[in-house]
Structure formats: structure tokens, C-alpha cells
Amino acid sequence: MLIRTPSSWELPESAVTPEALYRQRSRRDFLRTLGLGAAALTLGSRSVLAATAGFPDQQNPAYNGTGLKPTPYNLVTSYNNFYEFGLNKDDPKDNANRGWNTDAWTLELAGLVRSPQKIDVNALVRQLGLEQRVYRHRCVEAWSMVVPWDGFPLAKLIALADPLPTAKYVKFTTFYDPSAAVGQRSNSLDWPYVEGLRLDEAMHPLAFIATGIYGKPLPNQNGAPLRLVVPWKYGFKGIKSIVKIELTKREPRNTWNVMAPSEYGFYANVNPTVDHPRWSQASERIIGGGIFSGRQPTLMFNGYEKEVAPLYKDLNLRVNF
């Protein structure tokens, strides 16, 4: 295409993750060998120890997104909806990298659980390990990307907290810090951003917590140090920079649903047959496709129908959009 300049980071699809070197020497081994303090001293970089600096242990072959062409790294990290840092797609890259520090980060697990806890995100990554998955990413604004995420299944994280039988939903909350997040100084949305999943959705093997992309730390604009990835739902469900995960009995509200209930539902499953009042959801623009790429048809549940359709067999998707 006339405007794209291929760069060194534009790896072929086959090269996205399985870099033999990293596979042989996993991040865990790396840390074990060097020892944490030694690593910090030797490499002299704080970010090496940050959870987001983890190299993928290995690509999970069950989720390697056969036939998907990953969106170039520079586009994934420059075209972001992260209203905490501005309303335009290029705002977060600027505004989230002006002194907002995500290196030290504590995640709280709370609510209807047997072991409520506060975990340092570095410790969490060491405990759960990392894997890479190539997922489709479909925004409610009818554009899509393919992202190689590094992280761990959400189910593993929830299992740490040990939910009580009364827990039916999971509520996620992001940070609230208007001094660092310029967007939180206005009332464009009801801050802090919150999201929710049904517990069975959260425990689904596809539901994922990402701490990196392309084997690199999650950039601030993509929701460092950890964010939710639910590939069969619209992108706004993928809450960024999570500080709290709570198990609840009742369905939690989610920020966009509070903002405009007629436009954004709780479920937000990708569904080409149910239009948004502003956009048709039947097809999508491919980010990085260039001027004449046209659109591609949107797939039911964003192409994950086989895996997730059973979750919704008793649900009217037109009403519960």
C-alpha cells in the first residue's frame, strides 16, 4: 500500500511469538538464574522487574489465532481508546506517558471470596506465569485489530481469590488519579471506569488478563500494567489498568452502560446482527489495512462462536446486547 512503510518490527505472522530463544529461556528461568536483586543491579533498569516486562513463556498453541495477521505494533500502540487520557485515538500515547508511573502496582482481589488479598503485580506474574495468545480485537466503533497479547487466563487469577458459591459476577475497577490522568479531570465519563462479567464468562478459558503485547511490556496507553481481554466482546469491555477485582452477587454496572444504556449493554458481545444506534455492526474496518482495504464482515462473537455460544444459549442477544 502506498502509505505503509514496512519496518523491522513487522514480523511475519509465523514469527509473532515462538522465538526459540525466549522459549528456551523463559522469563521465570531468567529471573531464577539471576535473582531479582541481581537482575535489577546487573541491568540497572527498574522496568525489567515490572510485571509488564515479562517475556512470554511460550505461545499457547490453542490460541495462536490461525490465519490471523497481527496488526503492526506501532498501530496497536498509537490508536487507542483510553478516555482517562483523552478522547482522540492519538491522545493516550501522549498523555499516558507524561510521568504516569505504572511500575509499582497493587491489585486487590475482594468481595465474595475466601481469600481476599492485595497482590503486587510483579509477584502475580511470577506466580501465574505468562503465555502469548493471538486474539481478534473488535471495537464497538466498527474497527478491528489482531493483537498478540502476553498474560494469563483470568480464571487462574480468580482461582487465587477462591470465590464463594454465592459469587455470580465479577466487577473490575480501574485506577482513579486525576492528577496523572488528564481525562479524569473532566466528567466525560463517570470515573473510575468499571466493567463487569458474569462469573462463568470470567472463568471461560478465552478470558484473559494481558500484561504485554508482542512480547513487550504493555505500554501505558494500552492499559499497563494489566488489563482485561475478552476477545468475543467489544473492546470497551477490556478494562485497562485494573486496580480491583471484586466478586459480587448482583450484576455490576459498567461505565458505558451507565453513560448510555440504550447504546451499550452489559454483555457487549460482538454481534453483526445487532446494530449500534450509530454504526452498523455487520462489518468492520481493519486497522492498518490502508485506504482501499475496504471492510471485512464481522463474525458472530468476533469469530469465537464455537467456544462461547454455549454461555448464551438461554439469552436473547437482541435484548441483552
Partner 1 sequence: MTAFARLLRSKTFVWIVLILPGLWPAWPLFVRQDSSALADPLKFILHHLGFVACLLLVTVLTFSPLRVLFPRSPVVQALNRHRRLVGVSAFVYAALHFTTHLLYEGGAHPANLPGIFRNVLDKPFQLTGLIALTILLLLAVTSLHAAVRWLGGRRWKNLHRLAYVAAALIAYHQAAARKIFPVQVLWIFIPLVVLELLRLWKTHRPRPAPAAARP
Specify binding-site residues for Mo-molybdopterin.
Answer: 80, 83-84, 139, 174, 222, 227, 238-240
Q: Is 289 in the site for partner 1 (CB under 8 A)?
A: yes
Among 33, 42, 74, 127, binds partner 1 (CB under 8 A): 74
Query: How far apart are the C-alpha atoms of 49 and 215, rounded to whole Å?
Result: 15
Name the burial class of residue 101, with classes exposed (0-12), middle (13-18) and buried (19+) by CB atoms within 10 angstroms of its CB: exposed
Would you say 29 or 190 has its CB closer to partner 1? 190
Should residue 182 be labelled a site residue for partner 1 when binding is judged by CB under 8 A? no
* Cell output for 310: 454455549
Pick from 93, 133, 138, 171 the residue near partner 1 by CB under 8 A: 93
Does position 277 interact with partner 1 (CB under 8 A)? The reply is: yes
* Stretch 139-178: interaction string toward partner 1, x if CB under 8 A: --x-x-----------------------------------
Considering the complex, what minimum distance in angstroms separates the CB of residue 89 from partner 1?
Answer: 5
Q: Binding partner 1 by CB under 8 A: which of 63, 83, 105, 149?
A: 83
Q: Of the candidates 9, 25, 90, 104, which one interacts with partner 1 according to CB under 8 A?
A: 90
| Cα gap 20→206, rounded to integer Å | 25
Considering only the C-alpha atoms of the chain, give the largest distance between any 2 of them, rounded to a whole number of Å: 57
Q: What does the block give as the cell for 283?
A: 462489518
- Please compute, for residue 181, the number of CA atoms within 13 A of its CA located in the half-sphere on the CB side: 25
Do 82 and 224 form a contact (C-beta atoms < 8 A)?
no
| Cα–Cα distance for residue pair 35/32, rounded to 1 Å | 5
The correct pick among 23, 285, 309, 311 for binding partner 1 (CB under 8 A) is 285
Count of residues near partner 1 by CB under 8 A:
37
- Using rule CB under 8 A, residue 318 touches partner 1: no
Binding region? 80, 83-84, 139, 174, 222, 227, 238-240
Per DSSP (E only), the strands in the chain are: 58-59, 106-111, 117-120, 131-138, 143-153, 169-174, 194-198, 208-213, 216-217, 227-229, 242-248, 283-286, 295-297
CB of 234 to partner 1, least distance (A): 12
Asked if 19 touches partner 1 (CB under 8 A), the answer is no
Using CA atoms, how far apart are residues 268 and 259, in angstroms rounded to an integer?
14
Stretch of residues binding partner 1 (CB under 8 A), selected from 28-36, 77-85, 129-137, 243-251:
77-85
Within the chain, how many helices (H) and strands (E) appear? 10, 13
| 291 in contact with partner 1 (CB under 8 A) | yes
Q: Is 89 in the site for partner 1 (CB under 8 A)?
A: yes
The single residue among 54, 153, 217, 288 that binds partner 1, judged by CB under 8 A, is 288
Question: Omega before 192 cis (within 30°)?
Answer: yes
Omega before 297 cis (within 30°)? no
**87 sits near partner 1 (criterion: CB under 8 A):** yes
Q: Which positions lie near partner 1, rule CB under 8 A? A: 3-5, 74-75, 77-79, 83, 87-90, 93, 141, 143, 188-189, 256, 259-260, 263, 275, 277-280, 285, 287-295
